[in-house]
Amino acid sequence: MLDSMQEKPNFVFITGGVLSGIGKGVTTASIAKLFQFRGYNIRIIKIDPYLNIDPGTLNPIEHGEVFVTDQTWTFQPVDGFEFTISEIDLDFGTYERFTGMEVHPSQNITSGQIYLSVILEEREGGFLGRTVQIIPHVTDRIKQRIWEVVNKNPIPDVLLVEIGGTVGDIEAMPFLEAVRQIVRELGRFRTAVVHVTLVPYMISVGEFKTKPTQHSVRTLQSLGLQPDITICRAERKLPDSAKEKIALFCNIPTERVVSNPDIPVIYQLPLSFEEEGLGNILVEHFGMEPRTPDTSSWSGMVESYENATDMVVIAMPGKYTTLGDSYKSINQALADAAATCGTRIEIRWIETETRCTIESLTEDLSDVDGVLLTPGFGERGVEGMICAASVALKSKIPLLGICYGAQLSTVAFARNIMKWKGAHTTEVDIDSLYPVVDLMDEQKLTDTKGGTMRLGGHAVHIVKGTRLYEIYGVEKVHERFRHRYHLIDRYLKKMQEKGLKISAFDSTGRIINAIEFDDHPFWIGVQYHPEFKSRPDEPHPLYLGLIRAAMEYKKMRVK
> What's phi and psi for 51, nearest 5 deg?
-85, -5
Residues 138, 159: Cα–Cα separation, whole Å: 21
The one-character DSSP state at 112 is: H
Radius of gyration of the chain (CA): 25
307 by DSSP, 3-state: which? coil
Q: Verify whether residue 195 is a known catalytic residue.
A: no
What residue spans of 209-327 are helical by DSSP H? 211-222, 240-250, 269-275, 278-286, 296-306
Distance CA 279, CA 281 (A): 5
Residues 6+ apart with CB under 8 A from 220: 15, 17, 167, 176, 193, 195, 226, 227
| Residue 486 CB contacts under 8 Å (≥ 6 apart), including other chains | 407, 437, 438, 440, 511, 512, 527
Residue type, 256: R
* Active-site position among 87, 427, 516, 531: 531
Question: Which among 87, 403, 479, 483 is annotated as catalytic?
Answer: 403
Amino acid at the residue 423: A
Give, as one character, the DSSP assignment of residue 10. Answer: E
Answer for the pair 505, 513: CB distance below 8 angstroms, yes or no: yes
Q: What SS3 state is found at 151?
A: coil
* DSSP string across 419-484: --TT-EETTT-TT-SSEEEEE-GGGGG----TT-SEEEEEEEEEPTTSHHHHHH-SSEEEEEEEES
* Spatial separation of the C-alpha atoms in residues 261 and 29, rounded to whole Å: 16
Residue 486 falls in the annotated catalytic set: no
Return the bridge partners of 273, or none.
none
Any catalytic annotation for residue 403?
yes
Active site residues: 403, 529, 531
